[in-house]
Structure 1
Amino acid sequence: MSIITKRGDDGQTDAMYGGRLSKNAPEVVACGDVDELNAALGMLRVSGLPKDIVEQVDTIQGHLVALMGLLSVPAAKREKYLADGFPSVTAEDVEWLESIAVAMPTKFDGWARPGASGSVPASWMDMARTICRRAERSAWAVDDVSGEACRFLNRLSDILWLWARKLEGQE
């Protein structure tokens, strides 16, 4: 069976639980932005990160997959999606990210200049951070999406910024 269906050639994509969405619908845009973030985190995983960060990135990627599912469902069917037991992003997930941030020292020396230290992992971390900010903005545009989902992306961008600064300091 081929991956090529040609069903998207008209600018529409299939939605979960039936129906079609425009490829520029807020749900599709937000899902695509989170997918791009997930791919950027994949680049990070192979860029020479410390093992503890790789493990946390793996957990984050699992949450992002759940978030993509939630975002890709039209608002009218999101309640059914959750009732059917599909994963979402919860307050506990947001708290987990906050615990990572609290455990990290924060020293602000002005604006960051990604890449200035020559650290490839730090540069990828900053790239992922900017994609995460875009994904958060896109998620806020989706009707009735969980505020926890948007807060997760907000906290994640903070963590990515902190990790990038940490990695720059290690070079």
Structure 2
Amino acid sequence: MCFGAEFPDYYFSIPINERARRVEIAESLCVIDEEHFFVRGRIELPVLNSEEIFCWNVWTTLSKDNFIQTNTVWNDPERVNEPAYFGWLQTSLPGYPETLNLKTAVHTQAVGLIPRVEIMDENHPLVLEQKQGIGWPRVVELVEAALHS
């Protein structure tokens, strides 16, 4: 059960008539103005008393060096051994206080899977839900928020 953003939030600051020239975007990678680098990843929230995972597909920034490294190992099975990359969350998630620019750790997964994103800002409720899980009533709240955002 996944919901999320098609583009990093910063994408929407680019005027529509300039996007084709200034934005390079693939399914899970994005570069804006050759100086802002983004990767799509997944925030996983375990659903209590079940095997289910609620997930948010999100975008996070990467440094230029980490973005280049991500591209270098994108199709390499050994990429799972990469250290986590630091980033800033670039997706506003409904059902939470503002999530834009939360600190993240981006954990590369097996080829074919987008990275797992760990929220590092310990004062945000999303961190607790990521670590402790959520019940079914909260799942319903998040689904409703996602469908109406």
TM interval, shorter chain, is under 0.3
Q: Which structure: larger Rg?
A: 1
After TM superposition, the score normalised by the length of structure 2 is 0.25
Q: Which structure is richer in relative contact order (CA contacts within 8 A, separation 6 or more)?
A: 1
After TM superposition, the score normalised by the length of structure 1 is 0.23
Which has the larger strand fraction? 2
